[in-house]
Amino acid sequence: MAQLWGGRFTKETDQLVYNFNASISFDRRLYAQDIKGSIAHVMMLARQGILTEEEEEQILGGLQGILNDVQSGKLEITEEYEDIHSFVEAALISRIGDAGKKLHTGRSRNDQVALDMKLYIRDEIEALDTLIQELLLAVLAVMKENVDTYMPGFTHLQKAQPITLSHHMGAYFEMFKRDHERLRDIYRRMNTCPLGSGALAGTTYPLDRMYTAKLLGFDGPALNSMDGVSDRDYLIELLSALSMVMMHLSRFSEEVILWNSNEYQFVEIDDAYSTGSSIMPQKKNPDIAELVRGKTGRVYGALQALLTTMKGIPLAYNKDMQEDKEWVFDAVDTVKGCIALFTGMLKTMEFRKDRMEESAKQGFTNATDAADYLVNHGVAFRDAHGIVGQLVLLCIEKGMSMNDLPLSEYQAVCPVFEEDIYEAVSLKTCVDKRITTGAPGRDAMCEMIAACQAYMDAY
Ligand code: ARG
């Protein structure tokens, strides 16, 4: 047990209490951020004349040495310290002596930990954003290659109208695009520096908070010291944004699992991204997609947990807030892993264009277009709907599709039909006639792909 705060105590902390209270087992991952924050703090203290230049030099040298040694594995972060802040300070004092004892001047672990988490989250947002960029590029590649790959579009998991694979992928592009924007938005809003908030009420030293904020790449200092130490909104926002990423990945995974099934065979997941069964030799399972779908619950759980932890906390810092870390770390790790794995799976997946097109031809996906044909020949839509409904029934009885039904049968139900009905209900026509913005028609889709490409160019 090595603590920073022994002075006021007459008894040793109970070992179980110590263990319960300690956070070093998980906040050790913040060591680089903790040192970076200390470096900025010390530079500011020296600039303000609170530390001498010599002290500054000694402390900065010491901190840099600790950073290098932890990174190279020469210095091990041991669990005899309560948290990462105590560890760094103790290591500094043991290396440089008395000057090290001045590091914590004008600072509390409360503003320190708030800073560390913000620095960490900023880095992780960048990393997540790069992963989302790769995912978007993979989705866009499938879009570009499949402008003419026809497939059924579904509602209620029933075949509805023909679309293209390009169009279907375009929906996911929009989802992940919004995820990217949400992350940028969180970054922008959270980018204020807690340092200088002290324990809760600022400090009596003439700190230059603007300077530290600038050194650390923040837009400015947090404007209320009590909020500065106890704001965890950005973590909740992040968990919410990550939950949304997982929801999107999970829906996509569900479709991959369905499409990869023996019944659909719309896609074949690459061997490198599939797993086998220990008993059934024929099996090739979509475990990666299933795990991504499954891990969604874990990330939602983190969001619920932190929302609940924060709901009853009076101002300002309370130890409850230490509970933010494990949830956030786990969620960040999980989402990063899921995006990377999913992207790899998508890039190597084979799309069975023949199966998709065959499926689109079945199931009357062109029924709406047959009704539209009648509307274009002067029949009111509601009447046209009824007429085509009768034709569908007829086709089902005869085991035929609308493309094969003889013209005489069409005309027996409604004399408006002519030979050109076959052209009107062909897959190509059904898709290419849908040219409004956002629709699957070739022209609209090509425009959309160009817009997506421009978005990626400016990413
Ligand atoms: N481990 C603590 C946390 O994560 C650091 C802040 C401790 N502050 C305190 N006053 N006990 O929140």
CATH number at residue 331: 1.20.200.10
Instruction: With CA atoms as reference, report the closest residue to 295 among 259, 323, 353, 253.
Output: 253
Considering its fold, how many domains does the chain have in total?
Answer: 3
Do 47 and 189 sit in the same domain of this protein? no
What is each CA distance from 370 to 231, 359, 405, 427, in whole angstroms? Answer: 59, 18, 12, 12
Bridge partners of residue 155, in order along the sequence: 158
- The domain boundary, picked from 351, 368, 399, lies at 351
Q: Is the CB of 83 under 6 A from ligand 1?
A: yes
- Is the minimum distance from the CB of 48 to ligand 1 under 6 angstroms? no
212 domain residue, yes or no: no
CA distance 260 to 256: 6
Q: Is residue 73 part of a domain?
A: yes
Q: Shortest CA distance to 152 belongs to which of 427, 405, 403, 380?
A: 427
Tell me the CA–centroid distance for residue 6 and ligand 1, in Å. Answer: 16
**140 and 251 together in one domain:** yes
H or E element, residue 152 = strand 150-155
Q: Output the CA 32–ligand 1 centroid distance in Å.
A: 17
Position in ligand 1 atom list of the atom nearest CA 23: 1
Classify residue 275: in a domain, yes or no.
yes
If asked whether residues 345 and 390 sit together in one domain, one would say no
29, 109, 318: which to mutate for ligand 1, most atoms within 8 A of CB? 109
113 lines ligand 1 (CB under 6 A): yes
Domain end among 105, 123, 146: 105
Q: Which of 83, 89, 321 to mutate to test the pocket of ligand 1 (most atoms within 8 A of CB)?
A: 83
Ligand 1 probe mutation, 110, 121, 195, 200, most atoms within 8 A of CB: 110
d(CA 107, CA 104): 5
Cβ burial 215-247 (10 Å sphere, 16+ → b, else e)? bbebeebbeebbbbbbbbebbbbbbbbbbbbbe
Q: Answer yes or no: is the C-beta of 13 below 6 A from any ligand 1 atom.
A: no
Q: Quote the ligand 1 centre to 319 CA distance (angstroms).
A: 6
Pair (99, 129) in one structural domain: no
**Amino acid identity for residue 77 in this structure:** I
> 376 CA to middle of ligand 1, Å?
71
- Nearest Cα residue to 165 out of 140, 137, 146, 144: 146
Same domain, residue pair 326 and 363 = no
**CATH value at residue 391:** 1.10.40.30
Atom 2 in ligand 1: residue holding the nearest Cα? 322
Is 439 inside any structural domain?
yes
Q: What is the CATH number of the domain that holds 42?
A: 1.10.275.10
User: Which atom from ligand 1 is nearest to the alpha carbon of 319?
Assistant: 12
Query: Based on the domain organization, do 367 and 345 belong to the same domain?
Result: no
pTM (predicted TM-score): 0.95
Q: Which atom of ligand 1 is nearest to the CA of 325?
A: 4
Same domain, 224 and 345: yes
**Strand-strand pairing, 158-164 and 150-155:** antiparallel
Q: Where are the alpha helices (DSSP H) in 224-363?
A: 225-230, 233-259, 287-310, 324-348, 353-361
Residue 318 Cβ < 6 Å to ligand 1: no
* Packed helices 31-47 and 53-72: angle between N→C axes, nearest 10 degrees: 170
- Of 89, 105, 85, nearest in space to 42 by CA: 105
Mark whether 141 and 239 lie in a shared domain: yes
Tell me whether residue 1 is in a domain.
Answer: no
Residues 425 and 451 both lie in one domain: yes
- Are 368 and 161 in contact by the 8 Å Cβ rule? The answer is yes
Q: 105, 124, 147: which is the final residue of a domain? A: 105
To test the pocket of ligand 1, the residue of 30, 104, 113, 315 to mutate (highest count of ligand atoms within 8 Å of its CB) is 113
Assess whether 245 and 393 both reside in one domain. no
Q: 22 C-alpha vs ligand 1 centroid, how far in Å?
A: 9
Ligand 1 atom with the smallest distance to the CA of 83 is 1
Which of ligand 1's atoms lies nearest the C-alpha of 199? 10
Residue located nearest, by CA, to atom 3 of ligand 1: 322
Residues 149/166, Cβ–Cβ less than 8 Å:
yes
Structure tokens, 373: 């044909």
**pLDDT score, position 1:** 66
Same structural domain, 255 and 310: yes
* SS3 call for 350: strand
88 within some domain:
yes
Residue 431 is part of which domain span? 359-457
What is the set of active-site residues?
156, 277
Do 118 and 94 fall into the same domain?
no
Residue 194 CA to ligand 1 center (angstroms) comes to 14
Q: Look at residue 3 in the predicted model and tell me its pLDDT.
A: 75
Q: In this structure, are residues 325 and 27 in contact, taking their beta carbons and an 8 Å threshold? A: yes
Q: What is the pLDDT along the chain (459 residues), one digit of tens a residue?
A: 667 777 788 888 899 999 999 999 999 999 999 999 999 999 999 999 999 999 999 999 999 999 999 999 999 999 999 999 999 999 999 999 999 999 999 999 999 999 999 999 999 999 999 999 999 999 999 999 999 999 999 999 999 999 999 999 999 999 999 999 999 999 999 999 999 999 999 999 999 999 999 999 999 999 999 999 999 999 999 999 999 999 999 999 999 999 999 999 999 999 999 988 888 888 889 999 999 999 999 999 999 999 999 999 999 999 999 999 999 999 999 999 999 999 999 999 999 999 999 999 999 999 999 999 999 999 999 999 999 999 999 999 999 999 999 999 999 999 999 999 999 999 999 999 999 999 999 999 999 999 999 999 999
State in Å: Cα 318 to ligand 1 middle. Answer: 8
